[in-house]
Chains A and B, each alone.
Chain A
């Protein structure tokens, strides 16, 4: 691998890693607020993208509007996931909610498969015909660059909501001290529901970005994105949004670099080694305080 290949791999990985970051943020926010893992989150994201595709088949939409519809679709599906897997299932039973989300992941996947017969569906992209070439073998995809900046904007909006609005303050209060938050008059149920809607909006956008980056939507996307999202969440630190962003980019770059260096069949092995390294040496993730093992 020469220097150009190295830089190219890292660039591609970082740009594509932005979508992992968005998925990781969703996982981590839900965990931060409810201290529960929502394994259906990536499926919610892809479902949001499918909602926008379905709307697009009925009514031709510009790509940007399609992405907005995907976000709204993700928000709606996110709320449904909350109702089915969290609201009516006792929170004292962590396994029940976890298995509920596994079931929801499979259910969403199968609904998509049955509605589309598993066929790949074309998905619009913005700037997919733009390719910035520097020399013969170095280039940056315009659509990935757009996705990267859109992800940054979405994250900035999310951080604004979390740190500058009443809803955000309530969300953080419930995440940090649920009992005290309740004593202050904050409705835990409403905060939980709004967290699912907000993360659903973000997830729908992430699903749309992933669909746009491939150019095709497929139910094949849900499982790998779920796995990548979980890895990003663990590496970033459960509950840490800045951690999820950095981890998303890191995993994207790491994955792409090792794909170029060692080939596609070994690529995921190195990503898993990275995960194990974090679990062993920094179990709290990138932004955790130094912790020691028992």
Chain B
């Protein structure tokens, strides 16, 4: 009697354990998103913030139960993050490694000089049998240099369109400050994004808006002495100065401008400088600088994303906040495309995600609706912010015009 009772109990326990394992397996089917970007060197903060945002967004989705897979079971998202050191070779190596794992999609990279060659190793056109490029969907949050997604049909970006942002901002500024007629540029000559934004965006769009572009001063990312460049600015006597550089040299130049008493009526900055780094380095000198940005905690969703990111030890800004939107968009696409998240469906899942992303016409964003272009780019809502008493404050919302 005792023996049969023991057997019965053991059998019941075994059944219960098996049952629990099965249900746990179903509930815990993992859908892996592999993030990558710069977590070393002077751009480390970009990677740190993106990782924090991704993890916060994944937690946000998992707390709501995860995503519904193609067979009706629920899958939990997981996010990893690899460091590419803002180096093209390392970025390519990281992506190849990600492609060899069971990650269904990659999110990154940080730097445009990585994104450009990286997109080049992807298959250019889907279903092109003669192209042996990687077939892995990539959704970029930070690398902002214009027009990169068209390199491959597997590449997508959720970065702001700087051309549109600066075009409208210069027009708005011209209307608001009609007395300001001349502009002078300062450009970090050896950084892809800064260079592109000055020569192809700021310079061209400010001239279109009616400004007389008096020239530009150049410096390098590692420079420590800006006396000559600021003297050039002083000589040009412009009404406005536009600085297309990252926080370290932006701060160096702003401090030198203060020393040489160069006080333009208007100061305009690069999108990437609308971050904590600039205020951390030179809040006093940056006071009043105007920058267009696609993120500010001005809506309930944006505030919630910023708070969740802060809990993860990061900061939501123009670049990193895009990763929040990306994770939410991916979760939506995965559900709609019915991915299975099984080892034998890995490549099919990647293809479904790519197709889903390619078919998007618009998505929800933290500041409002984001339009998607046929080339895999985004047209995001944006604001103009300015540095005010050590913080970024909204100066103008163009959507309210």
A110 at interface, CB cutoff 8 A: yes
Q: Which of A110, A122, A128, A219 is the most central at the interface, judged by chain B CB atoms within 10 Å of its CB?
A: A122
Chain B 228-260 per-residue mask, 1 if CB under 8 angstroms from chain A, else 0: 110100110000000000011001100100111
Complexed CA–CA distance, A223 and B229 (Å): 22
B10 at interface, CB cutoff 8 A: no
Which of B43, B44, B189, B260 interacts with A114 by CB under 8 Å? B44
The 8 closest A-B pairs by CB, nearest first: A120-B281, A118-B44, A215-B255, A117-B45, A118-B42, A120-B248, A12-B227, A218-B248
A160 at interface, CB cutoff 8 A: no
Interface of A is mostly: helix
Asked whether A214 lies within 8 Å of B224 as measured between CB atoms, the reply is yes
Q: Interface stretch among B59-67, B160-168, B214-222, B304-312?
A: B214-222
Given A113-B42, A131-B261, A264-B189; A256-B228 close (CB under 8 Å): yes
Which of A118, A213, A216, A256 interacts with B45 by CB under 8 Å? A118
A259 at interface, CB cutoff 8 A: yes
Asked whether B231 lies within 8 Å of A129 as measured between CB atoms, the reply is no
Which of A128, A214, A220 interacts with B42 by CB under 8 Å? A220
Closest Cβ of chain A to B57, distance in Å, is 20
Complexed CA–CA distance, A131 and B219 (Å): 22
Given A137-B235, A214-B255; A120-B225 close (CB under 8 Å): no
Chain A 109-130 per-residue mask, 1 if CB under 8 angstroms from chain B, else 0: 0100110011111100000110
Asked whether A128 lies within 8 Å of B41 as measured between CB atoms, the reply is no
Interface positions of A from 129 to 188, Cβ below 8 Å from B: 129, 131, 137, 139, 141, 143
Chain B 354-391 per-residue mask, 1 if CB under 8 angstroms from chain A, else 0: 00000000000000000000000000000000000000
Write out the residue numbers on chain B whose beta carbons fall within 8 Å of the beta carbon of A16. Answer: 224-225, 227
Closest Cβ of chain A to B234, distance in Å, is 7
Asked whether B255 lies within 8 Å of A216 as measured between CB atoms, the reply is yes
Size bracket, chain B contacts:
35 or more
Write out the residue numbers on chain B whose beta carbons fall within 8 Å of the beta carbon of A141. Answer: 227, 259
Given A131-B259, A213-B224; A119-B218 close (CB under 8 Å): no
Write out the residue numbers on chain A whose beta carbons fall within 8 Å of the beta carbon of B280. Answer: 119-122
Asked whether B231 lies within 8 Å of A113 as measured between CB atoms, the reply is no
Complexed CA–CA distance, A5 and B45 (Å): 39
Given A113-B42, A215-B282; A120-B247 close (CB under 8 Å): yes
A90 at interface, CB cutoff 8 A: no
Count of chain A to chain B residue pairs whose CB atoms are closer than 8 Å in the complex = 104
Given A119-B276, A220-B221, A264-B220; A113-B41 close (CB under 8 Å): yes
Asked whether A219 lies within 8 Å of B41 as measured between CB atoms, the reply is yes
A66 at interface, CB cutoff 8 A: no
Closest Cβ of chain B to A191, distance in Å, is 33
A265 at interface, CB cutoff 8 A: yes
Interface positions of B from 250 to 302, Cβ below 8 Å from A: 251-252, 255, 258-261, 276-277, 280-282
B131 at interface, CB cutoff 8 A: no
**Which residue numbers of B lie inside 8 Å of A, CB to CB?**
40-45, 48, 189-190, 218-225, 227-229, 231, 234-235, 247-248, 251-252, 255, 258-261, 276-277, 280-282
Closest Cβ of chain B to A95, distance in Å, is 25
Write out the residue numbers on chain B whose beta carbons fall within 8 Å of the beta carbon of A143. Answer: 259
Complexed CA–CA distance, A220 and B228 (Å): 20
Write out the residue numbers on chain A whose beta carbons fall within 8 Å of the beta carbon of B41. Answer: 113, 118, 219
A-B contact pairs, 8 of them (CB 8 A): A8-B227, A110-B40, A113-B41, A119-B276, A210-B224, A214-B224, A214-B255, A265-B190
Write out the residue numbers on chain A whose beta carbons fall within 8 Å of the beta carbon of B276. Answer: 119
A9 at interface, CB cutoff 8 A: yes
Which of B222, B227, B259, B260 interacts with A224 by CB under 8 Å? B222
Asked whether A139 lies within 8 Å of B277 as measured between CB atoms, the reply is no
Write out the residue numbers on chain A whose beta carbons fall within 8 Å of the beta carbon of B277. Answer: 119-120
